[in-house]
Amino acid sequence: MNAAALRRVLRMLASQDIFREDDQGLYHLTPAAEFLRSGASRSLRDAVIMFSEDYMWRSAGHLTAAVETGSSSFEQLYGKPFFEWLGATPDAASTFHASMVQLSETGIERIIDAYDFPATGTVVDVGGGRGALLREILEKNQHLNGVLQDDRSALREHVLDTPQTADRWRLEEGSFFESVPVGGNVYVLKHIIHNWDDEQSTAILRNCRSAMKDDARVLIIDPVLPEPGNPHFGWALDLVMLSTLTGKERTRQEFEAILNGAGLRISNIFPVQTLGEYSIIEAVAA
């Protein structure tokens, strides 16, 4: 690594308070840089590495192709959909899944604080990865049970087995495109729906509607785009979806459309202030 070139990068980051340069030209960590450390609480190291990967930059660099065709630039570059390519690329998959774990665990406490979970019943975490959100829900609601659904590789690394959650959870392997666990009182989809187009999203939500009790609720945790012209990090995230996946960020009206198509309706929206501006969209049977 070239020291002079590295210093040019570090001094730019220091201008943004990511590092601090002292009088001897040495660089030190700042509170913001703590998130770059692998051992730090709520580390974002893997997420930063993932967003710096070549496939992310190439996809963003070919955004024009996505705009011209309406299909992701990633798929045009790599010849297959993102998740299919990821399944055949172990190194990239390892970094991606590690980054998703870190991003998923960001703001969990605020999500739980923003929503009044029922005193009893079963919470189903659909596509919940390792189950960090479900674990926190169960630990803070001692009379709730939980079901974590995801594929085998995610469930193998689950984090639900704690003294506070003993005997109150189970794992269910499967694809939410095929079915979701039946009989739940609350179905949670955190950072799931925005990955998929309207048809795919409606299919996931329709499976939730088929599995849920009549008085159950579905919680979608994603950005809700504001009126045009208003600042929101979701506008930029929407371009990441356009260049890489088939999904998109949605307005309230767009969420209403896919929910109605699945036999559901919005009953409330709860804002959550995390590292970005997310919301909990609560839906019930239509």
pLDDT in tens, 105-114: 777 888 898 9
Q: What is the pLDDT of residue 158?
A: 92
- On average, the pLDDT of the chain sits at 93
Average pLDDT over every residue of 200-220? 97
pLDDT in tens, 254-281: 999 999 999 999 999 999 876 568 899 9
DSSP the chain: --HHHHHHHHHHHHHTTSEEE-TTS-EEE-GGGGGGSTTSTT--HHHHHHHTSHHHHHHHHTHHHHHHHSS-HHHHHHSS-HHHHHHT-HHHHHHHHHHHHHHHHTTHHHHHHHS---SSEEEEEET-TT-HHHHHHHHH-TTEEEEEEE-HHHHTT-----GGGTTSEEEEE--TTT---SS-SEEEEES-GGGS-HHHHHHHHHHHHHHS-TT-EEEEEE-EE-STTS--HHHHHHHHHHHHSS---EEHHHHHHHHHHTTEEEEEEEEEESSSEEEEEEEEE-
Q: What is the pLDDT of residue 39?
A: 79
Residue 170 tokens read as 């189970």
Q: What is the pLDDT of residue 154?
A: 84
Query: Greater confidence, 87 or 79?
Result: 79
pLDDT of 104 strictly over 80: no
pLDDT in tens, 185-202: 999 999 999 999 999 999
pLDDT in tens, 35-45: 899 878 778 89
Active site (catalytic) residues: 194
Average pLDDT over every residue of 195-210? 97
Q: What is the pLDDT of residue 182?
A: 97
pLDDT in tens, 6-40: 999 999 999 999 999 999 999 999 998 988 998 78
Q: What is the pLDDT of residue 275?
A: 55
